[in-house]
Amino acid sequence: MSLRQLLLRLPRYLGVSGSPRRLWWSPSLDTISSVGSWRGQSSRSPVHWNQVVSEAEKIVGYPTSFMSLRCLLSDELSNIAMQVRKLVGTQHPLLTTARGLVHDSRHNLQLRGLVVLLISKAAGPSSMNTSCQNYDMVSGIYSCQRSLAEITELIHTALLVHRGIVNLNELQSSDGLLKDMQFGNKIAILSGDFLLANACNGLALLQNTKVVELLASALMDLVQGVYHENSALAKENHITEDIGISTWKKQTFLSHGALLAKSCQAAMELAKHDADVQDMAFQYGKHMAMSHKINSDLQPFIKEKTSDSMAFNLNSAPVVLHQEFLGRDLWIKQIGEAQEKGRLDYAKLRETIKAGKGVTSAIDLCRYHGNKALEALESFPPSEARSALENIVFAVTRFS
């Protein structure tokens, strides 16, 4: 079977240049705390997410939509994919994850790998260290940086798969058969571990101790962040946890920001850039990821077409901010008022939250992190790659 044929069948299987210059500009939080002070995009910037990603892929000369394809289409994982077909018709979340990796154009177009490639090209080769000038370079990006982008996506995909493991102790009759959930968990563990093993092998081949340390620490951050997320979700029905926005930021960086931030820093290390450039790359990755996560959290509250019954995370940014404005007692009261026959009426609670300050404050916070990401980019020379990184921020922080 050819690669093209396998790609076409995959959905059915699843059920469906210059050295960087250093500039400084550090506005206080007060100067960017309102929507009106957001550093908006130029009129020539693309406004749609798919257009932004498509133009960025042309710049790096690499179709990142299937960046980890070599691993995903290996014989071992192809066999696992055949087993995933047995989950069709069940309610195991692994099936939803698998479909999303193929079909979800907004959130799964290999964003992290694409950003790593773009920032690698924006920084270019180091002018202070010529030791890597003999490395292979295509479209202004070293081959080792492309490998790093693939590794980043493998780690991210593995974590997505592992997040689909079901807690069998909390199964209800409406969740489906126990044997289906047990089988799905085994496949999720096996496939997630396989992706992580390939990522670790790829890291070893880079032969750079600092890069290995950076990605290993990012993986540990992810594990810690996901643990906190799962703990919060387990308590959600009881509404016992009051994390506050400062705690939310710390946990969100661990679970969503650390991998991209440290991967961007690692890309600069591979090109032998100095600590200042590495830090700016880290800052861009961190704030870009934070902004992207807040945008995702906001979707249930700003989409024009939202299902009334669609649930949302009670530990998402708009909800945490809403709770912080209200105070604990009033929040508990609103939760009680939204209960009907022992079940939470998400449509009613959504309208209550939208009437408060949580949503607008989350938009402000999203744009704050977007501005910090743009600020970090100012230390890189103007280029198509830098403009593409800016456009990604503009797309994520655009709400009208």
How sure is the predictor about 191, in pLDDT bands with cuts at 50, 70 and 90? Answer: confident
Mean pLDDT of 350-378: 95
Residue scoring higher pLDDT (94 or 150): 150
Residues 106-142 have pLDDT tens digits of 444 568 889 999 999 999 988 776 655 556 788 789 9
Q: Residue 302, exposed/middle/buried by CB under 10 A (0-12, 13-18, 19+)?
A: middle
Residue scoring higher pLDDT (5 or 168): 168
Say how many C-beta atoms besides its own lie within 10 A of residue 269's C-beta.
23
Mean pLDDT of 214-225: 88
Domain ranges of the chain: 62-397
How sure is the predictor about 4, in pLDDT bands with cuts at 50, 70 and 90? Answer: very low
Could you give the CA distance from residue 281 to residue 296 in angstroms, rounded to a whole number? 23
Checking phi first, is residue 241 left (phi over 0); if not, alpha (psi -120 to 50) or beta? beta
Residue 152's pLDDT is 92
Straight-line distance from the first to the last Cα atom of the chain, in angstroms, rounded to the nearest whole number: 45
Let me know how long the chain is.
400
Out of 1.10.600.10, 3.20.20.70, 3.40.50.300, 3.30.750.24, the CATH code matching 62-397 is 1.10.600.10
Name the percent of the chain lying above pLDDT 90.
38
Give the pTM: 0.80
pLDDT mean across residues, the chain: 77
Q: Strand, coil or helix: what is 339?
A: strand
User: What does the DSSP assignment read for 228-278?
Assistant: HHHHHHHHHTTT----HHHHHHHHHIIIIIHHHHHHHHHHHHHTT--HHHH
Residue 309's pLDDT is 59
Residue 49's pLDDT is 76
Residues 274-316 have pLDDT tens digits of 999 999 999 999 999 999 999 999 999 988 766 655 678 888 9
Report residue 397 as tokens: 């922080």
Residue scoring higher pLDDT (88 or 160): 160
- Model confidence at 41: pLDDT above 80: no
Q: Pick the range with the lowest mean pLDDT from 62-66, 90-94, 269-273, 377-381.
A: 62-66
Residue 206's pLDDT is 92
**8 A C-beta contact, residue 335 and residue 239:** yes
